[in-house]
């Protein structure tokens, strides 16, 4: 890559991050996030409209189709900011829908007037997406959608192709459950939903893009949670000394910082590979490694933050408690650490046998 191309993506990322300030306050205030919890889907439709006006759902759609035509480096920059702000809106799901629809219906233009979410996962604890189609009907379940009760449309991924159906479609019901962070985790149950299936060959690639982007969200979450924890260590005193001066806590904080920077570097390098034409095998391994690192990082920082804050770390009034709950809710999406390890181990065995 030449210097001008490198400069272009950096300038694009800078502008995208600046646009995120419309949703994520620069001072880190979480008032809006607190208010949205346990209120319907747990997110604000007005913010989704604002995100659409900023072009976020169009990031992976080519400029020739009315999109922004941006890559994973810009996407990860945005998702990191959204993670720092604990943004509950399903922005990533709409990006996935946009990318899938562009392939299936190139003439489609996403205006943002409707919230469209991607329904791909067949079973919790697995990364299968091929189920859901029988003949010309949708039959089965898609799991782990965030905020489905407020969606207008679903882009449903199956081995027969992509089906776009409204929330009100006959035969489609939504099972919803509240999550620790105040949002919902929803399942779509489909009992003979009439659908037209559109060809869509890039499902795996879009899922890999989304996995990497979600890793960046977890990175942002962990980064901000660590900042809050370090600030607390500087002001909380014991034996007339800031507890941050205790060597044992310094060692633990240093370990978190090291793991955070390693994760940041891994995501940046992988996003660059994605943007510069990595092959399918490299993409799959890169997405899995980043998701593994990011999920383990988020949970490490969450555990240590609670320990270092003491009992107040799990109270609802403390901001750090919101980060802990979000980490617990988000860490296993797009594949838990166990799933990612299994995937990487299987790939290693296959490569050694080849």
| pLDDT, tens digit (0-9, with 9 covering 90-100), for 36-66 | 998 888 889 899 999 999 999 999 988 887 8
329 conformational bin, left if phi > 0, alpha if psi -120 to 50, beta if neither: alpha
Confidence at 278, pLDDT banded by 50, 70, 90: very high
Last residue in a domain, options 177, 194, 211: 194
Same domain, 136 and 219: no
Mean pLDDT of the chain: 91
Distances from the Cα of 53 to the Cαs of 27, 171, 287, in angstroms? 23, 32, 29
Q: In total, how many domains does the chain have?
A: 2
What are the φ/ψ torsions at residue 89 (nearest 5 degrees)? Answer: -65, 140
Q: With contact defined as beta carbons under 8 Å apart, do 32 and 85 qualify?
A: no
Same-domain pairing of 114 and 187: yes
Please write the tens of the pLDDT for every residue from 122-174. 999 889 999 999 999 999 999 999 999 999 999 999 999 999 999 999 999 99
Question: 143 has which bridge partners?
Answer: 121
pLDDT given for residue 233 in this prediction: 84
Q: In this structure, what CATH number is given to the domain that contains residue 244? A: 1.20.140.10
Which pLDDT score, from 0 to 100, does residue 274 have? 97
Residue 3 has pLDDT above 50, yes or no: no
The rounded distance, in Å, linking the Cα atoms of 23 and 50 is: 8
Higher pLDDT, 287 or 126: 287
Pairwise CA distance, residues 271 & 252, whole Å? 29
pLDDT at position 107? 56
pLDDT, tens digit, for every residue of 61-109? Answer: 888 878 889 999 999 999 999 999 999 999 999 999 999 998 777 555 5
190/209 same-domain check: no
More confident residue, 293 or 125: 293
Name the maximum alpha-carbon separation found in the chain: 72
The burial of 329, by beta-carbon neighbours within 10 Å (0-12 exposed, 13-18 middle, 19 or more buried), is given as: middle
Choose one of 150, 165, 194: the last residue of a domain. Answer: 194
- Which residues form the domain of 49? 3-194
Give the pLDDT confidence score for residue 110 in this predicted structure: 64
* 39 & 160 share domain: yes
- CATH at residue 120: 2.40.110.10
Residue 333 sits in the same domain as residue 278:
yes
């Amino acid at each position: 890559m030449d210097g001008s191309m490198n400069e272009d993506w950096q300038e694009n990322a800078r502008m995208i991050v600046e646009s995120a300030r419309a949703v994520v306050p620069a001072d880190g205030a979480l008032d809006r996030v607190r208010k949205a919890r346990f209120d319907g889907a747990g997110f604000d439709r007005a913010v989704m409209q604002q995100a659409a006006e900023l072009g976020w759902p169009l990031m992976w759609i080519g400029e020739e189709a009315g999109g922004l035509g941006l890559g994973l480096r810009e996407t990860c920059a945005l998702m990191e900011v959204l993670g720092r702000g604990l943004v509950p809106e399903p922005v990533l799901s709409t990006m996935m829908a946009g990318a899938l629809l562009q392939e299936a219906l190139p003439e489609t233009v996403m205006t943002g007037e409707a919230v469209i979410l991607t329904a791909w996962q067949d079973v919790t604890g697995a990364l299968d997406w091929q189920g859901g189609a029988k003949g010309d009907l949708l039959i089965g379940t898609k799991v782990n959608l965030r905020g489905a009760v407020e969606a207008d449309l679903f882009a449903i991924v199956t081995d027969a192709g992509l089906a776009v159906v409204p929330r009100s479609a006959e035969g489609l019901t939504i099972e919803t459950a509240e999550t620790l962070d105040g949002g919902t985790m929803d399942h779509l149950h489909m009992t003979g939903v009439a659908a037209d299936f559109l060809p869509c060959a890039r499902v795996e690639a879009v899922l890999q893009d989304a996995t990497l982007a979600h890793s960046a969200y977890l990175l942002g979450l962990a980064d901000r949670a660590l900042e809050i924890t370090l600030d607390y260590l500087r002001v909380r005193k014991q034996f007339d000394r800031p507890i941050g001066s205790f060597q044992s806590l310094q060692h633990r904080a240093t370990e978190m910082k090291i793991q955070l920077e390693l994760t940041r570097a891994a995501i940046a390098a992988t996003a660059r590979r994605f943007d510069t034409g990595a092959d399918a095998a490299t993409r799959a391994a890169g997405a899995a490694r980043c998701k593994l690192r990011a999920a383990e990082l988020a949970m490490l920082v969450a555990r240590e933050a609670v320990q270092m804050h003491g009992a107040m770390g799990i109270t609802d009034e403390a901001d750090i408690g919101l980060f802990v709950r979000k980490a617990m809710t988000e860490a296993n999406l797009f594949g838990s650490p166990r799933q990612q390890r299994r995937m990487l181990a299987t790939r290693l065995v296959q490569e050694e046998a080849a």
